Each structure stands twice: as structure tokens, then as C-alpha cells.
Structure 1
Amino acid sequence: MGDLLVVYLTFLLAGALIGLVPFLVGRFMGKPVLGQLGLLCCALSGLFHISLPVLVALVFLGWIFLSKHDLVIRKSHAAQSGGSYQTTYAPTPQPQAGSLRLTCLTGPLRGRSYPIGPKGLMFGRDNDCAVCFPGETPGISRHHCAIRWQGNTPVLVDLNSTYGTFLSGGRQLPPNNPAALAVGTRFYLANTGVMFQIELG
């Protein structure tokens, strides 16, 4: 009996380790509930077969990448009166121009905050940039990058800068290839000494 319990616990742990993949991807893609559900399902599926968590993880990864909205748990009227919870889809509130701001966390502009208006923000050393760096700032191009709007989604675009624009995880943005931003997203210019964060306005 003890050996069987050890086997089940091992399979459960292996499934949970595989489930970390959809969990982390879900957090990165702004769909943490789907990621958490993927982790749970991968862990439980490991109890049935050692290879099943891999299939479950792939299913959840596809779900995370293809779904437009995160899964949310809401109380139904029955739940408010002591019934069960109801799982529904609900659109994630989309940010609007003016409802977000940018805060500089490190570097020569540390502590400064900029509202992200309908026209977005340009970063660089030139005077026409809304986020304007001192002329001697190393690694910053004249027109380094920009935040723009694609519909209701703010995106970060590298403007072919010399030293690059990076998301906080270290992924460098290819020039002129927009990356979607969300509240809490951090990115840096050239190096982590010039770090910014998206926040609610």
C-alpha cells in the first residue's frame, strides 16, 4: 500500500511539473486562470497515466494561445444564495487610451510617470519624444521605440534602435514588430538599467 502511494505521489508531482508550462505561459499571456486550470488538470491527469499530462498541457497551451479572453469564475444568483458556482466566459476589460500610464522604474527618468494617450508615446533622445532622455544617455537611440494603439490594445514597437528594446523576461523585440502590453507589463531599453512598467491611470 505504501509503495502504491509513493507511485501515485510521484505521478502527481510529475504531472504538476509538466503543468508549470501552461501555468507560466498563461501568466505571460495575461490568462492566469487558464494557466492555473492547466496546472491542476496536468497534475490530476498524471494519476491516470504518466504521459497524459503532456497531452493535457498541449491542449491548454492551444487554448491559451487561441482564446481571446481568460476564463473567469463568477457567482450565479444560485451561488449567492448558497448554491454552486457557475463557470462562464466574460470579456477581460480592455484598456482605453488615457486609462493607462507608464512609470519609469530605473534609469535617468526614474520616478516619472507618463499618461498613455490616444497618440501613444515615443521614446528616445530627440526633443519630439514624449519620453525624452538626456542626450548623453548610453544605449538610447534618437527614436528608440514607441507605444501605440492597435484598437483597444497598447503595443510596444522597437523603431530599429541600435541597442534594442526588451520585455522584462529578456526577449528582444524585432524592429517594427508590435508586442501587446498589459497592466503590469515591464520592459526595458538597451539594458535593465532603463526599466518601465505599464500601470492603470
Structure 2
Amino acid sequence: MKKFRVLAAALLAAFLVGAVPASAAFDQGVLDGIVLISSGAPDSTGEMSYWRGTGFFVGQQGEDPQYIVTNCHVVEEFILAGKALGGGELSVFFDEDTQEEAYLVDYDYEKDVALLKLAEPTDQRVSLSMREAPESALGDEVYAVGYPLAADLTVQSVTSASKSDATVTTGSISRFLTESGTGRKLIQTDAALSGGNSGGPLTDGDGTVIGINTAGSDLDQNLFYAVSVSEILPLLDRNNISYTLADSTSGSSLPLYGIAGGAVVVVVVIVIAVAASKKRKKAGQPSQPQTPAAPAQSGPSPIIRSMSTQHGGMTVQLHHQPVQVGRDSATCRLVFRENTPGVSAHHCQIYFDEQSQVFVVTDLGSTYGTFLAGGQRIAPESPVKLPPKSSIYLGEPDNTLYLDLE
């Protein structure tokens, strides 16, 4: 993922002051689908730092949603530091008195998109529909929705972290482009963004999400960028998560229609992260730690492929944190159905050691055991190193997992 520089609060406030207020055409129903995200991670001394961003729910219309889309850089510190050092925190706020722990499902550094989930579906928000904006939408009015910190710094107000606290700015689509080096599809707009807007929806006049608000340029304070929803759809598809497209037909089996037709490949100078602004837990000591660059990805990526019929060949990418496997959907990234024979709620954990290029499998004290392909049972809480192209199974051979580099 491109490295972004977070501007100081004063500059963020200046961006907000220059924002064009949203017109009456904004679909107020969008506010029912957004949420404030707070992520925290400890530094090497154990002191916690916190970041703020925005996310929006996706799912099937009419059903309580569980999954949240946001930018990867909103939760980047949580991924890189929080999980590695322990004690990372990830929460969503429905209002000042109601918050829930969120869990990381999947992410893509280069595309700067991430997918989170709640332990259970919620009735406090609704899912938003999405569509890939066509080239013919150039010049159309759009709305950027989120929780910019600058709004709270510019004017002291009573805040509740609720949907009524969200800020809406308006602008138009000025360009469709493809970022050189990553192939990421971006939407350029003059709808003002600032710190905390990251991960929020960029919507059209119908309230349909066409982009994920991401960054702005320090070369021109009127240029802002959103990642096209086309970049989040593959993550939803590979995790078998239902979503709704603007035509009201839902499900990950819908064909994807790209917007790259006439887009010009350019080098985009994006130097502001519209990332969540940071604060120290200790009062009176604001922090501005540097956001670490995402580790470079070179060569094939480590993956877990489930050979179980219930997953249909689903793969889970191993990035820089362990992946838990089991029946508990709140903590496991690779989840088996509740009644799956041989699989415990928290069955095993799999990690890829980048230095030695091996997979590390740990049985988490499962009832039915984790086995190597030859039938040897792995001792509980005793990590076992396996080379690529290895297989293990959970309880029964029907629950086989294939470990490889792709």
C-alpha cells in the first residue's frame, strides 16, 4: 500500500472549512449504514495509541448487517503492531454509549481496502448498496460521508459518535484513473475529505456507494480520491460474503463490471492519508507516530485452501498475523459450520514465517485434534513447521487444509 503522510489537525481543519456543504439531494438513508471505527495498538513500551476512521456496512438488503468495509490504512497499525505485540483494540461506535468489538476478516495493502466484521449481525445499522461508477458518470454529483476529526477540532460541540455526528461534503467526479504501480482504480473528486473520513462511503445521488474515501493531494487542496468499489468486491467474493449491488440483485456471484475502459494510467501523488487522527490514551499527550509502510510483497503469497466441500475451494491469504481456524465466527478467519464433525470452536492457528518460508501450525487444545496428512496428531500448543504444499486436517480428513504459496 502506498505510504501516506497524515497532515496536522490545523491543516485538516482548513480542508474542512473549504468544503462545499452538501445539498438537499443527499440521501439521508446513507447515514444509517455508516459507523465510526476506532483502532488501537501498543508501541514497544506498551503505551497505546488510537486511530479514528469511518466504515460502512455491506450485506443483503433487509437483513441485519455484520460486515464493514473500510480502508486498510485505518486499521494498519492494529494489523502491524497491535497483533504482533498483543493488546491491539478494534471497535466500532454506534453512539457514545454503544460500541462493539470488531474483527479483521481480510485486507489488501496495495488496494488500501479492508473488511471487518462484528461477532453478530446488528440491528443498529443497515447495509448500503454499491455499484461501479461508469465512465459516463464523469461530472456527476457525489457525496463524501464520514467522521473527520477536523470537524470536532474546528468547532467545539457535543459529540456522540452517532450517525447524526457524521459530516457530509459534496462535489463532483472530475476523473477516473488507474494508479501506476498498483493498478488501483481511483475516483478523483472535489468533495472535501480530512483525517477520519478514511474508509467512509463516496455515494451518488441515489445513496449508492461508488467509492471508499481514501486520500487527498497536498499539491491541490481541491483534489481528493476514493478507491473504486471494484477493489473491495474481490475481497467480499473470496470470503463468501453477500452484498447488494445497485440493481438490488445481491450476492457475490454477480459479475463484476470494471471501470477501466478509458481510464488513463497515471502516477497519482497522494500524500495525505485521510487516516484516522491519532491520540495517546494518556490525557494531554497527543501523539503523532509515524505510520509504518506496509511490508513489500514480492513473489507468491502464502495461502490456506480449505478442501472441505462446505467452503467450495475457498482460500485465505496469510499476511503478517496468525489465522485462527474453527467454528467461532467472532475470532476465526477460516470458519467451519457450527455442526461440522471434528472441528472445535477454536481449533488451530496457522502462521507463515517469512524468514524461513515455512508454515507454523499450532493446535489450540482442540477436542478432536489437528493431524498431519499422514495421520500424525499435532501435540496441543506445540508449533509444528511445515513447508509449502503441505496438508493438515481438523479431526477428520474431510476437513483438510492445503498450505501453499500462490
Q: TM-score, normalised by structure 2?
A: 0.25
Greater per-residue helix proportion: 1
Q: TM-score, normalised by structure 1?
A: 0.49
Greater per-residue strand proportion: 2
